[in-house]
Amino acid sequence: MAENGASTGDVRPPQVVRVGTRKSQLARIQTDSVVALLQAQYPLITFEIVAMTTTGDQILDVALSKIGEKSLFTKELEKALEKNEVDLVVHSLKDLPTTLPPGFTVGAILQRENPQDALVLTPQLAGHTLESLPDKSVIGTSSLRRAAQLKRNFPHLAFKDVRGNLNTRLRKLDELGEYSALVLAAAGLSRMGWDDRISQIIDPGVCLYAVGQGALAVEVRAEDRHVLELLSFLHHRDTVLRCVAERAFLRTLEGGCSVPVAVHSHMEGKELSLTGAVYSLDGADCLKDTQKVSLNATQEPGQGGTATPAQHVGVTAHGSVAPGDMVAAEGLGLRLAEELLSRGAQEILSTARRLNDER
């Protein structure tokens, strides 16, 4: 804890909480939004933002899928958390590996914004959609997941890696003349206030999204009970359960940014459904399935007490989501992944990894 380096066993509430974040404009906007919610809930606590640069921010000339580092945008932040230099870290959930370093947990997942992908066109091609773009139009994306699905559905288009933060990528689109369009997360564009740049929201029937896309997560030290309790009100039940199922699916497949794995989840009443798919790099091969599970919405959420709250794919639902529902959501993702593995998903993913390494 920030005050006098208080230990996790210290019963005093914190007076200062330090919040770690990346330095990019989008990361700061996301972190500021979380801090605003915390400040409104706890007006007597001072929240200090500590911004830093991560490996993913520094390596801009190599495709994400080629770097081979699972924690590109989180490692430096987690080091600060480990050293007690910060008390919590705000991430885009899709940047967080499904297996966190020992001693860390996701203490809150906020209500998800639109998780779908969006098409952003050059002004010269205004009015077009993916379907109507001219042959050989170049689509900029650093995501193997997006490229594989779009190649499968739009073979008349060409694809080229594009790196950098949102500002940099949009500048490349507008000024370099190398790209006809970009495919980006709709949530990031909205948070930046750039909804007017969205030419098309891509339906998940065309392009399933990334695990955790559109959701913000707060990572903390797992034994820091005070901070976990501070964050518990931020947990959004439906988002938590959807993302736990998605993360369990990805972890069971041992996937990441180096392979095309995609999902779509949905909550309807007490029923949680999850669609998951794996693709070859060219999109020609695809295994896809949907499974569902019923949740016990009347079950009491887990409360405080002395026991350390259970984690599910790195997520602690401290006093906000029924433990049985967390187990059910994690099991859903596990079963769906095992179904695809039984049908040959491992071969598709292994080939995708090998071909990506050879590129």
* Residue positions annotated with a catalytic role: 95
**Nearest to 21, CA basis, from 218, 214, 213, 168:** 218
Residue 9 CA to residue 204 CA, distance in Å, equals 46
| Cβ atoms of 219 and 91 closer than 8 Å | yes
The bridge status of strand 104-109 relative to strand 138-140 is: unpaired
Q: Which two tokens stand for residue 131?
A: 């379907």
Q: How far apart are CA 278 and CA 331, in angstroms?
A: 19
Give yes or no for a contact between 217 and 313, defined as CB atoms under 8 angstroms apart: no
Show the DSSP H helices in 84-236 as ranges: 144-153, 166-175, 186-191, 225-231
Residues 237 and 245: beta-carbon distance below 8 Å: no
185 bridge partner residues: 117
Q: How many helices (H) and strands (E) does the chain have?
A: 11, 15
Bridge partners (DSSP) listed for residue 52: 22
CA distance 6 to 14: 9
The residues near 265 (Cβ < 8 Å, ≥ 6 apart) are 242, 243, 245, 246, 272, 273, 274, 275
CA distance 41 to 236: 16
Q: What are phi and psi of 266, to 5 degrees?
A: -155, 140
